[in-house]
Amino acid sequence: MLLFSEGSLRITLENHRTRMDAAVETLDPKRLLNTPDDTLADHFVGEFSVRPVAVASRDEVTVEVVPTKVDARRLPNRAIVDYTHPVPVDGTVVRLRVPFAGDALLLRVQASTFSMNPPDAEVSGNTLVFERAWGATPPDSEVTQWVEGELTRLLQHVGYQSGEIHQYNSQLRQAALQVIQRRKSHLLASQNLQASLPFKMHPRADAPLTFAPEGVKKKPIPIPPASQTPFRPEPALTDEQFGEILRTIRAMGHSMERTPAAYASLGEEDLRSILLTSLNAQFEGGATGETFNVSGKTDILIRQDDRNLFIGECKIWDGAKTLTGAINQVLAYLAWRDTRAAVVLFVRRKEFDPVLTKIPEIVTQHPQFRRELSHPTSTEWHYRFVQPSDPAREITLAVMVFHLSLAAAQAT
């Protein structure tokens, strides 16, 4: 059987993506609306991504040389009078067995880039079997040359496919998000709803600029179970509001780093109070003058009625347990859709880089971690987490690290 010659890989992949679109369009509306976009996208990417063919290493390839009767009609340079009947002669059959992984159907279709000399082999389970007959016992060098030629052609065509499949897979998540968001928008519009109710928070008109932010001065994979109850929009911070909060914290943290001596004796509560004051100096809510509050063991939060929309945890670094504990605390207090949080770590050790190196490892090992969203600076990471009790509830978490080492400042 001639491999890579019966159909078009491009059309095959397009049809695969069309089936993904159809799966999104037919998903139960309640489940669609009650499940975060990223969680849905992870599911559909997992289901509709394509695993390219992977050929085994040379160590796993086997060659079998079998003396036997061969049909002279299969041999070159043989004068055969009657091709309608087998012509058995003494000869040798060499079989090359190449294990592979991936979808065997891909072995049939042709990539957009291809050569006019595709390999010829039979598919037996997860093994490709190449066969050639000789009219005598072939020399080892001739067998080796044939084996190398077949492997080279096979790897060439697999490589053509892999590049095209990789491009398809890399675009699949964005394609899934587009069709998910389009259908959600249609469903919400038909019900006269919106995805969330923006929390009323805006910069104070009289906000004192107590520090200078960077740049310009500015005030700041099965779908998890989801609720089958009718979707209701919930208040949430917008991306812009969350960004402004982080910019305020970032600017205040950098201000502290420039004068670490002024904060050397302050504990976590005092450092938290400084951030709380700065945030409330920049923003006001729709109902009260103070948008940011303190409640119980939670450091800084925004509440709407009985719900937490934002939590900021301020901790002095004392090893991995500091960050893990802060994440657990955030997860315990945030239970609303599309909620945001920030863990602010103050490092008083002289050596700063070893702490920064540990942050991603600590975060990604947490059982509720889902994915890294961005890494805007060398000391800041944004992640997605899910609630332990409800995987349909996702949390955006920023981890921000500031260096308040008096010893390091003195050394410079």
The answer on pLDDT for 262 being more than 60 is yes
Res. 96 pLDDT band, cuts 50 70 90: very high
Residue 37 has a pLDDT of: 86
User: If DSSP codes are grouped into helix, strand and coil, which group holds residue 285?
Assistant: strand
The answer on pLDDT for 4 being more than 70 is yes
In the chain, the percentage of residues whose pLDDT exceeds 90 is 39
The answer on pLDDT for 155 being more than 60 is yes
Res. 109 pLDDT band, cuts 50 70 90: very high
Q: Which of 254, 241, 245 is nearest to 215 (CA)?
A: 254
Residue 218 has a pLDDT of: 36
The CA-atom distances, in angstroms, between 165 and each of 1, 100, 131, 157, 162 are: 23, 16, 29, 12, 5
Q: What is the pTM of this model?
A: 0.60
Q: Which of 299, 16, 288 is nearest to 169 (CA)?
A: 16
Better pLDDT: 298 or 249 = 249
The answer on pLDDT for 300 being more than 90 is no
φ, ψ at 49 (rounded to 5°): -70, 155
Q: What angle do CA 350, 320, 213 make, to 5 degrees?
A: 60
DSSP 363-375: HHTSTTEEEEEEE
**pLDDT tens digit string along 380-394?**
999 999 887 777 778
Res. 13 pLDDT band, cuts 50 70 90: very high
Tell how strand 380-387 and strand 369-377 pair up. antiparallel
